[in-house]
Structure 1
Amino acid sequence: MSDLRVPRRVGTVLLALALCVPPFYLDAFWLRIGLFSLAAAIGAVGLALLAGTAGQLSLGHAFFLAVGAYGYCWLAGDPGPSLPPVLAAAGAVLLAGAAGGLFSPVAGRVRGIYLGVATLALVFLGHHLLLTADSVTGGFNGRSVPPLTVGGFAFTETDPELTVLGIPFGAEERLWYLGLALFALTWFTARGLLNSRPGRALAALRDSETAAAVMGVDVPRYRAAAFVVSSMYAGLAGVLLALSFRRVVPDYFSLTLSVDYLAMIVIGGLGSVAGASVGAVFVTALPLLMTRYADQLPLVAAPGSGEGAVGPTEAARYLYGAAIVVILLYAPDGLHGLTGRTRARLRRYRPRRPGSTPSTSPSPAPAARPKEHTQ
C-alpha cells in the first residue's frame, strides 16, 4: 500500500505546482475559463456527495449557488450590512447551508424522483425571488459584486499594484490563486468526509436503507446532513462565481445550471471527488471554447453572425449530451471508474520486479504415506 501512496502524493504535489504556473503564461480569457471551472468543480463536488454518496437526486443546486452569490453581494455591499468581505463570504456559505437546513426535513424523508421534483420547485421559487426582491437582489439587472479584500490586499486589477517575476497581476491572476485555495479546501474536506465514519454511513445509506438502519444509521438525519453539506459547497461555489463574474444576474441561476451540474457528476462519476472535478471542467470549458473558436468549426454559428446550424452554446450542450449517452452505455461509473479500470489493467500487465516473481517450478509432491498392513 505504501508503494502506491508515494507516487500519488508526488503526483498531487506536481499537479499543484503545475496549477500555479498558468497566470505567468496564459491571458485573461484562459484564466477566466479556469476560474469558472474551479467554481463549477467546487459545486459539483457538493452535488457528487449528495447524489453519488448519499443517493439523493437534486435539481435545485442552482438555487443554493444563487444564495451564495447573492448572499455575498448583500452581506458585503450596500444596501446590506456592508460586512468585511471575508466575513461576508463566510456568511454567504453559512447562509446557503441554512437554506439547505430549512429544506432538510423534506430531504430527510423524500428520496428519488420525488426529491428531484421537490428541489426543482426551489429553482423556480428562487428565480422568482431574485426578480422581485429588488432591494436585495437588484431585480432583473442584478447586482455588482464587491471585491474581496484580505488584510488590505484586494483581488482587483490595481489595488494595490502587484508584479510577480515581471508579470503584472490583475484580477484574474489574483482570483486564480484564490480559486485554487478554495478548490484545495473543497478537495481535502470532501475526501476526508468520504473516508470518515459519516461518509461510510452515507455510502451504506445509498446501497440499502434497510441495511443501514439495521446497522444503526439514523436515515433521516444523515440524509438531511448530506443536503446541508452539499448546499454549503454550492454556496462556496456561488461566492467564487460572483467574484469571477463581477456582476450577478438572475438568469444565470436557472434550471439549465442545475442540469449542467447533473451532467458534470454523471460524466465524471457519481460519488467521486476527482470525477466530479473533471466533469465540471469539461462541461464548463466546452461552451466557452466553442464560442471562441466558432468561426473555425463546421456547422457552428459565430456569436452575432446568424450563420451556421446552431450556436456554440447549443452545440456544446449537444456534445456533452452525447458524452452522457456514451458514458451511460459503456462506462456507467463515469470517467473516474473508467480510469480506475484502465489502471487495474495496466497494473496487471506491468512486469514484476526481479525477485518478486512467483516460482514456476513444480512444488514437490507430498511424501507417500506408508501403507498400513492389515493382519
Structure 2
Amino acid sequence: MPDILRKKRTTFDYVKAGSLIVLAVILLILPLYISTYWLQLGFLVSSLAIGAIGLNILTGTAGQLSMAHPFFMGLGALSYVVLAGEPAETSLGPIIGFGWPPVLAMVGGVIIAGIAGLIFSPLSARLSGIYLAVASLALVFIGVHVLNTAHALSGGFNGRAAPTFELFGLVFGASENPIVILGVPFGKAELHWYLGLVVLAIGIWFGKNLLKSRTGRALKLIDSSPLTASVVGVEVMENKGKVFFLSSIYAGMGGVLYALAIGSIAPQSFDMNLSLEFFAMIVIGGLGSIGGAVVGAAFVIALPQVLQANAAALTFITQFGITTAHLANYIYGAAIILVLIFKPTGIAGLWHDLGKWIRRRSKRDSDDDVDLETKSVVAIAK
C-alpha cells in the first residue's frame, strides 16, 4: 500500500495501544493477587457494563431515551434460570425448570430478551423523547410484577437461585479439584472474573465496530436530525427498531451474567432504581462512548463497595449518620451534575481531550524538528 494511503500513527495512538496492553495484562493476572470479594465485584461490574454499552448505543448514539433496560435484563436472567434450572417442589408450589446445559440456557436467555426487544421495537421506532421513556418505563413495572407473582418461574418475591454456569466441562462453582495456577486455586470467583472479561471484551469490540460502520453513522445522524437522515436515504424507523433490538440483546446478556454475579434473581434487582443507575453510568462515562459506558459502570457500581471497604477511614463523615451507601449516592449524584455543567461528554470526553493535547504537542515538536533541520540545511548551504 502506498505510504500516502497509510494512516500516520501519532504519539497518542502509541500511548493508547500501550495503555490497552498494560490494562489487559493487569486484568489477566489480577486473580492471582486480589481477594475473592474484589473478583466478585469485578464480575458484577462486567455484567452491568455490558448492559450499559447497549443502553449507550441506544441512548447516547441513537438518541432513544429508553428506561426499559432492567426489564430486558430481568427477562434474560429469568430465562437463563428457568432454562438451566431443574424442576422442584416448594411449599408455595412447583418450580419450573428445563435442565438445559448452562451455555444453551445463556444463549436462550439472550435470544428471548432480543425477541422481546424486537416485539417492542415497532413502538420504540415511532416514539421518542419523554414518550418513549414513559412507554419503556411501563415495561419495568410489568417485569417487576411478573417476577413478584410468577412463582413457578421466578420463585416469587424471594427470588430463585441461579444455576451454576458450566463451559466445556469446567464448572464455574465450588469444586473439590480446582485448577491451580502459580499456587492459586481457580474457583468460582476467578472463573467468573474471566467469563466477565471475555464477554465484555466481545461486547466492546462489537460496539466499537458498529459505531464505525455505516449503521453507526446512520444512528448518529438520526440522533442529530431525523429529517436530514431521511432525506439522505437513511431508513429512520428501521434503524430505530434495529438499535432497540440490539440494545435488548446487550441487556439480556448482561442480565444472565448479573444473575450469576448475585447468585439469584429477585424482583427488586430489576426495578426502576437500576434504570437510574444505568443512566448515571452512561452520563458519567460519556454519552455515545463504548469505553465511557464501561468506565461509568465501574464508577457507579464499585464506588459504594470501595467506600464500604474503607468505612473505618470515613468516620469523620459517618459520625453524622451518613452511611457509605448514602455517601456513594451523593458522590455520583454530584458527578452527574458536574459532568452536565462542565463536561457533557463525560470521562470519555476527558480522554478525548487528552488525546487532542498529545497530538497537538506531538505536531508542535515535529514542526520544531522540521524548522531546526531546515535552518541547519540553510546554514550548511551558506
> Given the two structures, how large is their TM-score scaled by the length of structure 2?
0.89
What secondary structure does 1:21 align onto?
Answer: helix
* 1:193-342 equivalences in 2 (<5 Å): 193-298=210-315, 301=318, 308-342=320-354
User: What is the aligned-residue identity percentage?
Assistant: 42
Amino acid at match of 1:338: L
Shift of 1:294: 2.5
Partner of 2:32: 24
Give the match for residue 352 of structure 1.
365
Residues 46 and 233, structure 1, Cα contact 8 Å, conserved in 2: yes
* 1:132 matches 2:143: no
CA RMSD, 1 decimal? 1.8
Partner SS for 1:20? helix
Aligned residues: 356
Aligned AA (2:203): T
Q: Is the 8 A contact 2:40 2:192 kept in 1?
A: no
Instruction: Go from structure 1 to structure 2 and tell me whether the alpha carbon gap of 1:240 and 1:2 turns closer, same or farther (over 3 Å shift).
Output: farther
- 352-361 vs 99-108, which moves further: 352-361
**TM-score when normalising by structure 1:** 0.91
What SS class does the counterpart of residue 322 from structure 2 fall into? coil
Distance change >3 Å, CA 162–CA 115, structure 1 → 2: same
Paired position in structure 1 for 2:62: 54
Partner SS, residue 168 of structure 1: strand
* 2:182 is aligned with 1:165: yes
Q: Supply the distance in 1 between the matched residues of 2:176 and 2:190 (Cα, whole angstroms).
A: 13
Give ranges in structure 2 of 5+ residues lacking alignment.
1-6, 87-95, 376-382
1:87 aligns with 2:110: no
- Inter-partner Cα distance in structure 2 for 1:10 and 1:197: 29
Return the alpha-carbon distance in structure 1 between the equivalents of residues 28 and 307 of structure 2: 25
8 Å Cα contact 1:153/1:159 also seen in 2: no
- Shift in CA distance, 300/146, structure 1 to aligned 2, threshold 3 Å: farther
Contact 1:75-1:81 at 8 Å conserved across structures:
yes
d(CA) in 2 for partners of 1:116 and 1:60? 8
Higher fraction of helix: 2
How many Å apart are 1:132 and its aligned residue? 0.4
The one-letter code of the counterpart of 1:179 is G
Report the residue type matching 1:296 in the other structure: A
C-alpha displacement at 1:357, in angstroms?
2.8
The one-letter code matched in structure 2 to 1:3 is R
For residues 133-185 of structure 1, give each alpha carbon's deviation from its aligned partner in whole angstroms, at most 9, with x where no partner exists: 00000001111111111121111121642111110111000110111100110
Highest Rg: 1 or 2? 1
Cα distance in 2, alignment partners of residues 159 and 248 from structure 1? 26
